[in-house]
Homo-oligomer: A and B are copies of this chain.
Amino acid sequence: MSNSEQTANTDRHQQKMQKHKEKVDAAIARAQEERGVIIVLTGNGKGKSSSGFGTVIRTLGHGYKAGLVQFIKGTWDCGEAKILATLPGLTHEVMGSGFTWETQNKEQDQRAFDAVWPKAKAMLSNPELRTVMLDEITYMLAYDLLDFDELKTALENRPPEQNVILTGRGAPTALRDLADTVTEMKMEKHAFKAGVKAQAGIEW
């Protein structure tokens, strides 16, 4: 490349980046409303719960307090639970009845849910908690353990600065409508489906 070609390339890059910067800056200037948001992480792809945990870590990293309720996982040997338990500022509750296809007993699942839900509601009315994560709560809706209106009321009455992260496959339309941010995590490929064994540190 000649010197003049290189200079032209450099200018083009600089112009392109300047244009991009103007777009980013304008978007930042437009977004000035300050309030807590409802984030739904759904879809059949890998990454919903781990993304929620990463965001809880972010919240704690800024010195805020956070709450986490795990409606399915959390009792067994979960890598994230071990680390999360060591972090100051996090209140962590586990429903702990395991997968509904393991218990195969709806009454038992309902009792386990009814025991943990008041703790989740207490988090959703606690202004000290900047972020509350309800991990795999969509299954509680899908299996009729939780009534959507009950969840909706708790979300709508939460402290205005509080962020809530809800995860799990198949988030219903009414929940998506209520949310500010919805990510649909689409599985394009999954190692497990291709015969690779699920492993500690990746799947749990």
- Interface secondary structure of A, over-half rule: mixed
Instruction: Pick the interface stretch among A13-21, A111-119, A146-154.
Output: A13-21
Within 8 A of B (CB), among A85-142: 87, 99-107, 130-131
Interfacial chain B residues near A57, Cβ < 8 Å: 50, 53-54, 57, 79-80, 83-84
Interfacial chain B residues near A169, Cβ < 8 Å: none
For the complex formed, measure the closest distance between the CB of A62 and the CB atoms of chain B, giving whole angstroms.
Answer: 5
Interfacial chain B residues near A60, Cβ < 8 Å: 79, 83
Task: Mark A residues whose CB is within 8 Å of B.
Answer: 9-10, 13-14, 17-18, 20-21, 24, 27-28, 30-35, 37, 39, 41, 43, 45-55, 57-62, 64, 77-84, 87, 99-107, 130-131, 163, 176, 179-202, 204
Find out whether the CB atom of A17 lies under 8 angstroms from the CB atom of B100. Answer: yes
